[in-house]
Structure 1
Amino acid sequence: MNMNTVQTAVIQLLQIYMGMDDCVDTFPKQVDWAEVYELAVKHNIGGILYTAIRKLPEQECVPKDIQKDLQVHFYASVSRSKEQDMRMVQVMECLNQNKIFHVLMKGWVLKRYYPIPELRTMGDIDFLIREEDRQRTHEALLQLGFLCTSDTGFVWCYEKGNTLLEVHSRIVSQKVGRGADTEQYYLDAVSHTEKVRGEYTLCFIKEYHLVYLFVHAAKHFQYAGYGLRGQLDFALFMEKYGNELNWDYIWQELEKLGLSAFARATLTLCKEWFGTKIDFLPMQMETENYEKMKEIIFAGGVYGYCDRNMEASQVRDQLEGAEKSDLKTLKWKAMIKMIFPDRQYMRMYLKNVEKHPSLLPAAWVIRWYQAIFKRGSRNTQRMKQFLSVDEGVREEYTLLKELDLLQ
């Protein structure tokens, strides 16, 4: 995929937002602004593009209706961000009063690195607590008027107004990449932190956080792709800390986790798109795979490959060791795996299944019951998506193989 005019325009608008003002002179003359707007909505960067467009010289004919629509995204982002900030300050104060350690991470920390922090949108605010503080945290959030919308597994969800919280007791609960067991690796995450506000509000040490962001991005890339905002997060993290980071430690940990190829490809892209000035061993990728990576990032929404589906990644995973299989066989294998998932996955239905494998059939029955009576229509949809999976999974498989992201 050689980038088309619309994609080039969007990348240049992101560069202008980052302060790379010399891009204004090389901005493409003929742009389909309706398509630019479509990408802005898909990647949740409407507010960012609005501020960049305002820096373009007058003669850039951006249709008034597009400017107006992007302005709506700008004000919506700012107002939502203000609400999230206000509620999150209350949460931090409350958890400090209750002496509950909590670790801020991902979007809440990253938005501080953006030129206009309010424009780094967040669907939800994630933070980490210790498993033993789960019940006390739950009670504290209910007292603050949050409604608990999900209380199973390692992530409990809460909402109040437009603010959604994801409260993790583990930040990774599956294997990512080919290296060390990521779930085990992150069991002691709370100890890699420093204080940021009060006695109990913590955030990760910057190198540890960056490694985690690569793990998180790789997880999304493996299953559903990730979008331009994820790429921008890395670029702005590098701009903020760049060469003051302990890169020896970072590469050593990424190597351990089997994610150094993915990290190098991501940084190569940051260098190409945003001029990131970091010294690292560049990723020598097959041209078609590198272009495919860009295509996936553009096709993705904020954290999801809009034009594909989760079923596609499940079918693709069946190619391991069976590259000559036809698509029909791959779909059958994926479907059987979906109906009878492994113990790791089934923990969210029955916690003890991890220690007691004999409970697995019981966990399956619970899941089937919920699937039929609670999520019937959604499962019909999933079956349709399974049937619509096409040969494109083979290209994705080749890319993920080169990035070392296959299990």
Structure 2
Amino acid sequence: MEFRLFKELLQVAVGVRDSLSCVPTANDWVNVFHIATVQTVAGVAFYGVHRLYQNSNDQLALMPVGLKMKWFGLHESIKIQNKVVNGAVRKLLKDAALADCHKVILKGQAVAKYYPYPELRNPGDIDIWCVCRGMRLKESLKVMAQRAFSLVPGAGIQPHHTDWPKVDGVSVELHFTPSTVYSFFYNQRVQRYFEEALPRCEGNRLPVDVDIVFQLMHLRRHLISEGIGLRQVMDLYWTMKAYSLQCQNEQTCISSNLRITLKRLGLSSFAGAMMWVLQELFLMPRDEMVCSPDKKRGEFVLKEILEGGNFGRENKHKGKVGSNRIQHLWYYVHLALRCLRYFKHESLCAPMYRVYVGVWKRKFNH
């Protein structure tokens, strides 16, 4: 019942419906607020409350006054946080240590610009993709990693990103490439795809079609390794809407090239699952989808989202990482196994990728 009302509130927030199917009780509102905070979409959900106030004021009759004030306070806090993070992004783009780089903001504040109300998206840290001009991704990785180590001693380096100094208290992840996939076979294609897309990046953002590919990749990666929340799903929804609008303005249909790209990068089955999730949550029309929705896989993904919350932090079945390497590896094997039935290739490769990362980090540090 609570999730149905929460889903309807999100649909009101994105403008695909005007009212809820019933008048929520006080307890219903408390539960809806809890889901919104766990899924880190409280700001957007409050916009749904605002629209209800305009369209169907009687549906808010039983909302506790205390909850209303608490939610409004959180809504204002999110707006302030966005101002801080936006200011930090502007400063980061002017960082002298990145002056000789192509700079692209990923996720977060870049995706927020697709929202009709970007100030209400719950902000996180800053992800920036930097590639030294005149270098290939692999060459740039070594240079950027050395800079990161000099600025952040003991920076936590991964094959695709590392730590960078905070800006105005906001954490920064510097990406050598937007993302990697667990499959070594597909990862070569993925890196070639991003390298070819770099010249198309304008205004420190990914082209919208590349952003869709990147977000699907990022969502699948987190689904297998820890979990995803509705904030990332809503990001994909508004990016898809932006792409659909771009196609309308250019008087073209959803690009068949994008579908071919998803297939070439091994993302077709996951894309189908996410199209079903977008249809279920936000009533997305079929003609705005990049591929046909896959109900079977979509139901699994939505169940994982609802049980896990943002990055799977609410999932009670995840267990703990463990203190030694074997326990650490088994933790990720355990997580990957739950996805094996639906996304076989990537799930099978995930534990091997963890071993590769360990070997890579030792080799790189030496």
TM-score range, shorter chain: 0.7 to 0.9
Pick one of 337, 343, 346 that aligns with 2:356. 343
Measured in 2, the distance between the counterparts of 1:50 and 1:293 equals 25
1:222 alignment counterpart:
224
Letter in 2 for 1:224: E
SS in 1 for 2:361: coil
Offset from partner CA, 1:126-145 (integer Å, 9 cap, x none) = 11112255168649x96xxx
Following superposition, the deviation at residue 12 of structure 1 comes to: 1.6
Does the C-alpha gap of structure 1 residues 348 and 122 become closer, same or farther in structure 2, counting only changes over 3 Å? Answer: farther
The runs of 5 or more residues in structure 2 that have no matched partner are: 132-139, 248-252, 322-329, 342-350
Does 2:21 align with 1:26? Answer: yes
Does 2:15 align with 1:38? Answer: no
Does the C-alpha gap of structure 1 residues 265 and 343 become closer, same or farther in structure 2, counting only changes over 3 Å? Answer: closer
SS in 2 for 1:261: helix
SS in 1 for 2:209: helix
SS in 2 for 1:55: helix
Does 2:292 align with 1:282? Answer: yes
Matched length: 320
1:58 alignment counterpart:
57
Measured in 2, the distance between the counterparts of 1:246 and 1:149 equals 45
Q: Spell out the pairing of 1:225-374 with structure 2 (5 A cutoff).
A: 225-242=227-244, 244=247, 246-279=254-287, 281-286=291-296, 290-307=298-315, 308-309=317-318, 313-315=332-334, 317=336, 342-351=355-364
2:167 alignment counterpart:
160
Offset from partner CA, 1:35-63 (integer Å, 9 cap, x none) = 21221221111222222212323332111
Does the C-alpha gap of structure 1 residues 26 and 192 become closer, same or farther in structure 2, counting only changes over 3 Å? Answer: same
* Preserved contact between residue 228 and residue 302 of structure 1 (Cα < 8 Å): yes
Q: Identity, % of aligned pairs?
A: 18
Does the C-alpha gap of structure 1 residues 225 and 254 become closer, same or farther in structure 2, counting only changes over 3 Å? Answer: same
Larger displacement relative to structure 2 (223-232 or 301-310): 301-310
Measured in 2, the distance between the counterparts of 1:118 and 1:239 equals 18
Does 2:92 align with 1:87? Answer: no
Structure with bigger gyration radius: 1
Does the C-alpha gap of structure 1 residues 211 and 16 become closer, same or farther in structure 2, counting only changes over 3 Å? Answer: same
Letter in 1 for 2:157: T
Does the C-alpha gap of structure 1 residues 93 and 63 become closer, same or farther in structure 2, counting only changes over 3 Å? Answer: same
**Could you say what the CA RMSD is over the residues aligned between the two structures, in angstroms?**
3.3
Letter in 2 for 1:282: S
Offset from partner CA, 1:113-159 (integer Å, 9 cap, x none) = 112102222321111112255168649x96xxxx6772533422232
SS in 2 for 1:113: coil
Letter in 1 for 2:115: Y
Measured in 1, the distance between the counterparts of 2:271 and 2:360 equals 30
Letter in 2 for 1:102: K
Measured in 1, the distance between the counterparts of 2:16 and 2:340 equals 46
Q: Spell out the pairing of 1:363-402 with structure 2 (5 A cutoff).
A: none
TM-score, normalised with respect to structure 1: 0.69
The runs of 5 or more residues in structure 1 that have no matched partner are: 323-336, 354-407
